Amino acid sequence: MLAPVTPGIFTMYTCGPTVYDYAHVGNFRAFLTYDVLKRVLLYCNYTVSHVCNLTDVDDKIIQRANEQALQDVTELTRKFEGCFMADLAALNIVKADRYPRATQHIPEMMDMILELATKGLAYETADGSWYFATQQQPGYGTQLVQLSYDDMQQTERGESAGKQHFADFCLWKAFKEGVDRTDMAWESDKIQLGRPGWHLECSAMARKFFGSETIDLHGGGVDLKFPHHENEIAQSEGCLPPGQSFCNCWFHNGFVNVDNEKMSKSLGNFLTLRTACPTADDVRAYRYLVVSSQYRNPLAFTPQAMSAAKNAVKRIDKIKAELEKAIAQSDNVAGVGQASSELAVSAVPKAMNNFKAAILDDLAMPRAAACLFALVNAAEGEFKRVAKQGDSDISLAVGTDAASAAGLDIAGLTAILEAMQEMDQIFGIFYQVPLGEGDSAEAANSSVPLEIPATVMDLVAQRTAAKDAKNWELADSFRVQITELGFSVKDVKGGDPVVSRKEEQ
């Protein structure tokens, strides 16, 4: 039975994006998996302290910035941070409490390296790079995978020739003239100019926000088990007291496949949310497709799968609208709702009990979706019964005698609607996708989700940083610039600022 270290509060660290490009729909399966787990914990009345990192220093970032001849790497990273946040909103993903940038926690990473060194778990090479001494860490590579050194091939991959063992991984990459950038390099009195290794970033930021306590939950794609998460464990437990675990429960989602291949940028078969889901209906369908799947299994992203998901959402929307209409009309029609409520005392409790059992059984969301459709089927059956008895259309008009004579089970239909809304605390499909570039509110269900220009998101990020530094004058100047570009920013207590076009206010 999963239980938090601190009663009532789950700590959760999840691996975020590397912000040099749009995240693709395969990436968003991970973020939607985090979302489902988080919603289940909240549904069970737990508090969730959630940190999701932003990797804003990386080989790919430097390469892309150089390709674009950017003077400042943050021109690139802030742009795609903004795009990522917009996509999270489009998918109705509950935001993490914090999205720390790796570049904001370089001192903590340096401290961790030096602490590991004092324990004989890290060493410096002649060029100023630092490596983790895997052979000094008992059980390295065996917690999430069963690593076999015999099956591993020694590859340098441009790493330092001073590595003591081919399995040792980089904690700190020494600066290389003509290759690296000065705006992506740091140094201290004990660590030479360079930048952190990817694995170290997550360990240091998890430690920063959760201290030395064991984390309850840590998630990511199945491809992160090794080397990333095994290396995180090695680093983090290297700094913990002997015998203390870094994390109690790891959860890894399966790949999203296209033509039976993992979707990835390296394979060139990736689709961004904007290209794969150009309308609000598509975005909601993709959310439903992912959250109704078993998160551990591969998920095929095909036109057929998306069409089925879209049809499912349309059917759910239709019955929800009919329920709301019938219940609203019942207040105006004498006699409606006098039938005995078999739905309320039988069908709905059964569906809800099965739903709760499903979500608590390793997030068995296909079973949970079946429970949702059990309610849909029950409501449709009630409306068909009414239509047959009253020889009328299922869609009822306010005040008609047919509605009164039919004896709709309003108590049962009300229970169904309330149960569907309760289930949606997990599914998260009853929402309006943010408006796109079109101007009319009527276009909300057919327009491309609103993409805030990168320049605006950059100003919003700078304004937030200025406010955090209590530089109110500078923050106000950024607000003026945002306004001049046709947008407004509204602060939300305990959350991210909301950015919108001025005419939407």
pLDDT of residue 502: 58
In a 13 Å sphere around the CA of 388, the CA atoms on its Cβ side amount to: 6
Contacts of residue 433, Cβ cutoff 8 Å, sequence gap at least 6: 90, 92, 280, 283, 284, 444, 445, 449
154, 155, 158, 162: CA torsion to nearest 10: 0
Note the pLDDT tens digit of each residue in 308-323. 999 999 999 999 999 9
Of 19-33, 118-132, 174-188, 444-458, where does mean pLDDT reach its minimum? Answer: 444-458
Q: Of 215, 209, 219, which is closest to residue 97 (Cα–Cα)? A: 209
65 vs 278 pLDDT, higher one: 65
For residue 53, is pLDDT > 80? yes
| Per-residue pLDDT band at 159 (split at 50, 70, 90) | low
Of 6-10, 15-19, 151-155, 194-198, where does mean pLDDT reach its minimum? Answer: 151-155
Average pLDDT over the chain reads 86
pLDDT of residue 261: 73
Note the pLDDT tens digit of each residue in 330-382. 865 544 444 457 888 889 999 999 999 999 999 999 999 999 999 999 999 99
Q: Of 186, 176, 184, 160, which is closest to residue 61 (Cα–Cα)? A: 184
| Per-residue pLDDT band at 153 (split at 50, 70, 90) | low
- Using CA atoms, how far apart are residues 162 and 157, in angstroms rounded to an integer? 13
DSSP string, 371-386: HHHHHHHHHHHHHHHH
**Whole-number Cα distances in Å, 333 to 321, 328, 330, 339, 384:** 18, 10, 5, 14, 19
C-beta separation of 93 from 132 below 8 A? no
For residue 155, is pLDDT > 50? no
- Backbone conformation region of residue 211, classed left if phi is above 0, alpha if psi is from -120 to 50, else beta: left
Distance of alpha carbon 121 from the chain centroid:
33
143, 149, 152, 156: CA torsion to nearest 10: 100
- Backbone conformation region of residue 352, classed left if phi is above 0, alpha if psi is from -120 to 50, else beta: alpha
Of 86-90, 181-185, 266-270, 487-491, where does mean pLDDT reach its minimum? Answer: 266-270
- As to burial, measured by CB atoms within 10 angstroms (0-12 exposed, 13-18 middle, 19+ buried), residue 58 is buried
Q: Of 56, 52, 18, which is closest to residue 195 (Cα–Cα)? A: 56
pLDDT of residue 487: 78
Q: Of 447, 449, 457, which is closest to residue 487 (Cα–Cα)? A: 457
Provide mean pLDDT across the span 146-155. Answer: 66
Tokens of 332: 């105006």
- Using CA atoms, how far apart are residues 194 and 126, in angstroms rounded to an integer? 13
Residue type, 276: A
What is the set of domains in the chain, with CATH numbers?
9-276 (3.40.50.620), 282-427 (1.10.730), 452-504 (no CATH)
Q: Give the number of other Cβ atoms within 10 Å of residue 349's Cβ.
A: 13
Specify the residue for token string 């220009």: 453
Note the pLDDT tens digit of each residue in 443-495. 333 333 445 666 777 788 788 878 878 888 888 888 888 887 777 787 765 55
392 vs 499 pLDDT, higher one: 499
